[in-house]
């Protein structure tokens, strides 16, 4: 398998930025190693991509849904043939440990298989009219050209899970890839090229969000925007897009709690805590930021977690044994270290980690705080790295109240063997993704994914939920 070229993919062609400008993509494990120089696109490139998507829309929307689905399935097969290359590129350019990169690349293919299958499923309902008994049917139409703005932390899965339903339901796409991990995303275009997708249906551009993202949001030919990223940018995207009468879907940050009850299987809880807080170096919006542990087991849980951290494999993400790799870039690395310093300054005690590994990389050791007050920075703000805090609680009421005391509402976990506690957690904790006896991160392709409160906006992604965002319902009264 060949690597995709380091170029934009517009109207079926691989193109440099019209201005010729490029941006460098470096390996966060070996900071002097250049992965490639990618187009730093501007308005001219976005305009060309939108024009291509707009021109391709009628033909693609008229293509029978099963034929569209068949192309998605072919793209899934193309991904399956190159999972290892995609995973290696992902690990090299953004530092995700290889074992997770492999899973993510494979997940992309599964998403396409699921969305492809939608081509053969019902996309409407049939009713009878009250007076005549004639048919009333609902039909789902594509929204039009959709703009997808995707982050660097899931550089394969997130672009795919947005574009798969978009294409399945007949929309055409302009996808903005994140500047820190564009190579991974370019594989998607290459796989669709192999699958025979008509030109212009899927266009990929790279560049700064402030340039490309804004252009996508403002252009009247783009009818809907799906964005995954930070709350500040997301809210700005939402405000501008809704002002212009567009559909918007946001997937934003989280401050996800893990509740450990005294009746929990503590070894399982520790595994879930470690994975949730530290895999992908905590660079997931679903990562565990707070661990609330019931009094009676607090000391035991803490000792077991610290022992697990000692046993954890931290370092080179290209080693399949590595669990915790580097932070994506220098700016994020420095921001996380500043967050740790702030946590200490506000009175938190570092139980593990708290510093960089050292050397020519952006690795930060898995870091655990305790003694952080509920209104401190670390308890409220998302530090996007391997940093978590332990809190002691007495009753489930107290744990739920504290779990809910943040503006975010993405994911949450409880470890318990008590059905009543699990039920109360599922009904009272304010998050879109709730896990009983599993870690806060992770998402299956066939069920809805999304947050509530300030973690999200608009219909959820994935599974059948995706149809709500990527289609418009029309109702047809059909008398004979
Ligand atoms: C996962 O937990 O596997 O950007 C997916 C993020 C989320 C996706 C998480 N939107 O981290």
Provide the greatest CA pair distance for the chain.
77
Q: Is 251 in the pocket of ligand 1 (CB under 6 A)?
A: yes
Tokens of 428: 């009272």
Distance between first and last Cα of the chain = 56
pLDDT score of 93 more than 70: yes
Tokens of 322: 């590595």
Tokens of 23: 């941006």
Q: Is 256 in the pocket of ligand 1 (CB under 6 A)?
A: no
CA-CA distances (angstroms) from residue 289 to 155, 258, 388, 410? 22, 8, 5, 12
Q: Please state, for a pLDDT cut of 70, what percent of the chain lies above it.
A: 100
E strand segments, 187-317: 202-206, 222-228, 247-251, 256-260, 288-294
pLDDT of residue 221: 98
Q: Is 250 in the pocket of ligand 1 (CB under 6 A)?
A: no
Q: Quick check: 67 and 176 in contact, CB under 8 A?
A: no
pLDDT score of 435 more than 70: yes
User: Catalytic site residue 251?
Assistant: yes
User: How far is residue 251's CA from residue 228's CA, in Å, rounded to a whole number?
Assistant: 5
Q: Which residues contact 420 (CB under 8 A, 6 or more apart)?
A: none
Task: Kindly indicate the confidence band of residue 472, based on its pLDDT and cuts at 50, 70 and 90.
Answer: very high
Q: Is 228 in the pocket of ligand 1 (CB under 6 A)?
A: yes
* Centre of ligand 1 from the C-alpha of residue 195, in Å: 27
pLDDT tens-place string over residues 256-313: 999 999 999 999 999 999 999 999 999 999 999 999 999 999 999 999 999 999 999 9
3-state secondary structure at position 92: helix
Q: Which domains does the chain have, with CATH numbers?
A: 8-252+455-478 (3.40.605.10), 256-436 (3.40.309.10)
Instruction: Give 384-423 as a 3 state SS string.
Output: CCCEEEEEEECCHHHHHHHHCCCCEECEEEEECCCHHHHH
User: How far is residue 442's CA from residue 258's CA, in Å, rounded to a whole number?
Assistant: 14
Residues 130-138, mean pLDDT to the nearest whole number: 96
pLDDT score of 127 more than 90: yes
- The answer to whether the Cα torsion of 102, 282, 335, 249 is positive or negative is positive
| 180 phi, psi to nearest 5 deg | -85, -10
Percentages of the chain per state (helix, strand, coil), in multiples of 5: 40, 25, 35
Q: Quick check: 327 and 362 in contact, CB under 8 A?
A: yes
CA-CA distances (angstroms) from residue 314 to 93, 96, 440? 17, 12, 21
pLDDT of residue 79: 98
pLDDT mean across residues, the chain: 97
Element (H, E) at 476: strand 471-478
Q: Quick check: 49 and 174 in contact, CB under 8 A?
A: yes
pLDDT tens-place string over residues 144-192: 999 999 999 999 999 999 999 999 999 999 999 999 999 999 999 999 9
Point out the catalytic residue in the list 26, 93, 104, 285.
285
Mutate to test the pocket of ligand 1, among 94, 286, 439 (most ligand atoms within 8 A of CB): 286
pLDDT of residue 226: 98
Residue in the structure block whose two tokens are 């401190």: 376
Please count the CA atoms within 13 angstroms of the CA of 347 that sit on its side-chain side: 7
pLDDT score of 45 more than 80: yes
Q: Is 286 in the pocket of ligand 1 (CB under 6 A)?
A: yes
Residues 385-413, mean pLDDT to the nearest whole number: 98
Q: Is 287 in the pocket of ligand 1 (CB under 6 A)?
A: no
| 391 phi, psi to nearest 5 deg | -135, 145
| 162 phi, psi to nearest 5 deg | -85, -50
Tokens of 290: 């707070």
Task: Kindly indicate the confidence band of residue 4, based on its pLDDT and cuts at 50, 70 and 90.
Answer: confident
Task: Kindly indicate the confidence band of residue 480, based on its pLDDT and cuts at 50, 70 and 90.
Answer: confident
The atom number, within ligand 1, closest to the CA of 411 reads 2
Residue 210 CB neighbour total at 10 angstroms: 9
User: Catalytic site residue 346?
Assistant: no
Q: Which residues contact 168 (CB under 8 A, 6 or more apart)?
A: 65, 68, 69, 72, 115, 116, 118, 119, 470
User: How far is residue 81's CA from residue 290's CA, in Å, rounded to a whole number?
Assistant: 39
Q: Quick check: 132 and 468 in contact, CB under 8 A?
A: no
3-state secondary structure at position 211: helix
**What value does the CA radius of gyration of the chain take, rounded to a whole number of Å?**
23
Tokens of 168: 């399945």
pLDDT of residue 124: 95
CA-CA distances (angstroms) from residue 292 to 152, 262, 351, 402, 434? 29, 11, 15, 9, 15
Q: Is 151 in the pocket of ligand 1 (CB under 6 A)?
A: yes
pLDDT of residue 309: 98
3-state secondary structure at position 141: strand
Residue in the structure block whose two tokens are 């610290």: 306
Q: Which residue puts its alpha carbon closest to atom 4 of ligand 1?
A: 285
The atom number, within ligand 1, closest to the CA of 251 reads 10
pLDDT tens-place string over residues 308-352: 999 999 999 999 999 999 999 999 999 999 999 999 999 999 999
pLDDT score of 1 more than 70: no
pLDDT tens-place string over residues 195-242: 999 999 999 999 999 999 999 999 999 999 999 999 999 999 999 999
CA-CA distances (angstroms) from residue 107 to 13, 74, 166, 292? 26, 15, 17, 31
DSSP codes joined into one string, 16-52: --TT--EEEEEETTEEEEEEEEEE---HHHHHHHHHH
Residues 86-91, mean pLDDT to the nearest whole number: 98
Point out the catalytic residue in the list 251, 323, 461, 468.
251
């Amino acid at each position: 398998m060949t690597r995709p070229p380091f170029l934009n993919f517009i109207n079926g062609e691989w193109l440099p930025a019209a201005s010729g400008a490029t941006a460098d993509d470096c390996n966060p494990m070996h900071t002097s190693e250049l992965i490639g120089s990618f187009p730093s696109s501007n308005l001219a490139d976005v305009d060309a991509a939108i024009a291509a998507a707009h021109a391709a829309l009628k033909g693609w929307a008229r293509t029978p849904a099963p034929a569209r689905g068949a192309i998605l399935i072919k793209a899934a097969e193309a991904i399956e043939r190159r999972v290892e290359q995609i995973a290696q590129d992902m690990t090299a350019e953004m530092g995700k440990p290889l074992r997770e990169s492999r899973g993510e690349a494979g997940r992309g293919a599964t998403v396409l298989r699921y969305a492809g299958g939608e081509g053969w499923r019902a996309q409407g309902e049939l009713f009878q009219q009250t007076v005549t008994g004639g048919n009333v049917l609902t039909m789902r139409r594509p929204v039009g050209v959709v703009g997808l703005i995707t982050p660097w932390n899931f550089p394969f899965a997130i672009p795919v899970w947005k574009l798969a339903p978009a294409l399945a339901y007949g929309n055409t796409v302009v996808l903005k890839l994140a500047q820190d991990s564009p190579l991974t995303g370019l594989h998607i275009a290459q796989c669709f090229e192999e699958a025979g997708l008509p030109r212009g249906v899927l266009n990929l551009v790279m560049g700064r969000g402030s340039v490309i993202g804004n252009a996508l949001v403002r252009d009247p030919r783009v009818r809907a925007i799906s964005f995954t990223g930070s709350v500040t940018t997301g809210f700005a995207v939402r405000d501008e897009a809704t002002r212009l009468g567009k559909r918007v879907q946001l997937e934003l940050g989280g401050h996800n709690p893990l509740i450990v009850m005294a009746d929990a299987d503590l070894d399982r809880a520790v595994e879930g805590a470690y994975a949730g807080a530290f895999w992908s170096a905590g660079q997931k919006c679903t990562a565990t930021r707070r661990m609330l542990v019931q009094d009676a087991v607090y000391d035991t849980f803490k000792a077991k977690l610290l022992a697990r951290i000692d046993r954890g494999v931290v370092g080179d993400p290209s080693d399949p044994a590595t669990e915790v790799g580097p932070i994506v870039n220098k700016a994020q690395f420095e921001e996380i270290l500043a967050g740790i310093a702030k946590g200490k300054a506000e009175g938190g005690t570092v139980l593990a980690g708290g510093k960089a590994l050292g050397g020519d990389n952006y690795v930060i050791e898995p870091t655990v705080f305790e003694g952080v007050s509920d209104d401190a920075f670390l308890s409220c703000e998302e530090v996007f790295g391997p940093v978590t805090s332990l809190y002691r609680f007495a009753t489930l009421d107290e744990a739920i109240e504290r779990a809910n005391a943040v503006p975010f509402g993405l994911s949450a976990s409880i470890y318990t063997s008590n059905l009543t506690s699990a039920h109360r957690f599922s009904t009272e904790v304010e998050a879109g993704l709730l896990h009983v006896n599993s870690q806060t991160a992770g998402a299956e392709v066939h069920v809805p994914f999304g947050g509530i409160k300030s973690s999200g906006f608009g219909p959820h992604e994935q599974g059948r939920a995706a149809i709500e965002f990527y289609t418009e319902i029309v109702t047809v009264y059909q008398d004979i």
